[in-house]
Copies of this chain bind each other. A is one copy, B any other.
Amino acid sequence: MPRGTHETYHLGDLVLQGGATLRDATLAYATYGTLAPDRRNAIVYPTWYSGRHWENEWLIGPGMALDPDRWFIIVPNMLGNGLSSSPSNTPPPYDRARFPHVTVLDNVTAQHRLVTEHFGIEQLACVTGWSMGAGQTFQWAVSHPEMVPKILPFCGSARTSEHNKVFLDGVRAALTAGSGFRGGWYESQPTAGLRAAARVYAGWGFSQAFYWERLYRQLGYSSLEDFLVGFWEGFFLDERDANNLLSMLWTWEHGDVGATPGFDGDLERALGSITARAIVMPAEKDLYFPPEDEAYEVSHMPNAELRVIPGVWGHFAGGGANPVDTTFIDRALAELLAE
């Protein structure tokens, strides 16, 4: 499927958790494979911070766990990512800097409507995702336990930790500090801020040891500076919009399954309500979703296993950048789906 090809589900007026109504909201999604007649082979695989559906495709393919010959894989684009309803594509008055705050639960609510109303699916086979996609995975399991028998969240968390928020706040500070940002009412993309945010992000995305070993050379970059410009600045300039990034940043910052209605802010109780069989996979040297945090969350889940992705690729162990890590995740998914 070429980059950018997707379907659009029209949600109508989506009332958000924060109270605003997103009128004529849309959910952009792509599917891989064929929905079985009994509609029981569907897997939801949400996107991550700034990611688009085609940037999930590295984990989908013939012979892999997410084999389109067997499964019907639905990749919904996160609200705010520029394809689903976002600051950049919503008409006034809720456009750009005025786009309302969207929660992880809002995303899952929209996805649930796509899955049930549009596809008529009553039970999923599995939910999986990287990073903020993992956050959406946890939220699916808390909000719709009857529909979600298995989850495999990798390099993410059910609640965004305080340290993670500090990291995000640094990215926001860099993104908005530039003169071109103008409170979100920029005429053209505030590239100075986008580049600054990229530089801040660079230290967090991969581990200290990744840089020590200069593994960016495996990715085709000739020097540290080439990696910072070519990979990181390129990443933030790749059709990404500053307000979109800030919208998703807010979503990430406020990720917390304990905030699901009925749990009254009680993270542990929300985790305890997850009936899905879970393999929770943090990466050994992830600097913002460290394994300790996931060990804590797993300890409150009745049917979960912690399985750490070993190695030095940090958060991007789950980004498809390193074949060894991809194989490790793929095998765990295969094992979970075979159970």
Q: In the assembly, what is the distance between CA of A170 and CA of B193, in Å? A: 11
* CB of A222 to closest CB in B, whole Å: 14
Tell me if A156 counts as interface (CB < 8 A to partner B).
no
Instruction: Pick the interface stretch among A65-73, A109-117, A137-145, A208-216.
Output: A208-216
Cβ B193 vs Cβ A177 within 8 A: yes
- CA A204 – CA B169 in complex, angstroms? 12
B166 and A211 form a contact (CB under 8 A): yes
Chain B residues with CB under 8 A of A162: 211-212, 214, 224
A228's partner among B169, B193, B208, B224 (CB-CB below 8 A) is B169
A292 touches B (CB below 8 Å):
yes
* A126 and B141 alpha carbons, distance in the complex (Å): 59
Q: Which A residues from 253 to 311 make CB contacts under 8 A with B?
A: 287-288, 290, 292-293
Instruction: Report chain B residues within 8 Å CB of A202.
Output: 166, 169-170
Q: Which residues of chain B are within 8 angstroms of A172 by Cβ–Cβ distance?
A: 199
Q: How many A residues have CB within 8 A of the partner chain?
A: 41
Q: Which residues of B contact A167 (CB under 8 A)?
A: 203
Q: Are B170 and A208 in contact (CB under 8 A)?
A: no
Number of copies of this kind of chain in the complex: 2
CA distance A339 to B30 in the complex (A): 69
Q: Contacts A208-B292, A209-B292; is A170 near B170 (CB within 8 Å)?
A: yes
Set of chain B residues within 8 Å of A178, measured between Cβ atoms: 177-179
Q: A161 to chain B: closest CB distance in Å?
A: 6
Which secondary structure characterizes the binding site on chain A? helix
A196 at the interface (CB under 8 A from B): yes
Contact at A200–B228, with CB atoms within 8 Å? no
Complex interface: chain B residues within 8 A of A173 (CB): 174, 195-197, 199-200
Of all chain B residues, the one with the shortest Cβ separation from A210 is B163
Q: Is A192 an interface residue (CB 8 A)?
A: yes
Contacts of A6 in B (CB 8 A): none
Judged by a CB distance under 8 angstroms, whether A10 is at the interface is no
| A173-B199 Cα distance, complex, nearest whole Å | 7
Bound: A214/B166 CA distance, A: 12
A165 within 8 A of B: yes
A196, B174: Cβ atoms closer than 8 Å: yes
A208 proximity list for chain B (CB < 8 A) = 161, 163-164, 287-288, 290, 292-293
Q: For residue A163, which residues in chain B have a CB less than 8 angstroms away from its CB?
A: 203, 207-208, 210-212
In the complex, what distance in Å separates the CA atom of A293 from the CA atom of B173? Answer: 29
Bound: A195/B173 CA distance, A: 8
Interface string of A132-176 (1 = CB under 8 A from B): 000000000000000000000000000001111111011011101
Q: Sort A-B residue pairs by CB-CB distance and give the 3 closest, nearest first.
A: A179-B179, A163-B211, A170-B200
* 11 A-B contacts (beta carbon < 8 Å): A161-B212, A163-B203, A163-B210, A163-B211, A166-B224, A169-B202, A172-B199, A173-B174, A203-B204, A208-B288, A208-B293
Apart from A174-B177, A208-B292, list 18 A-B contacts with CB within 8 A. A161-B208, A163-B208, A164-B208, A165-B224, A166-B199, A166-B224, A166-B228, A169-B228, A170-B174, A170-B200, A172-B199, A174-B174, A176-B196, A177-B196, A200-B200, A203-B204, A208-B290, A208-B293
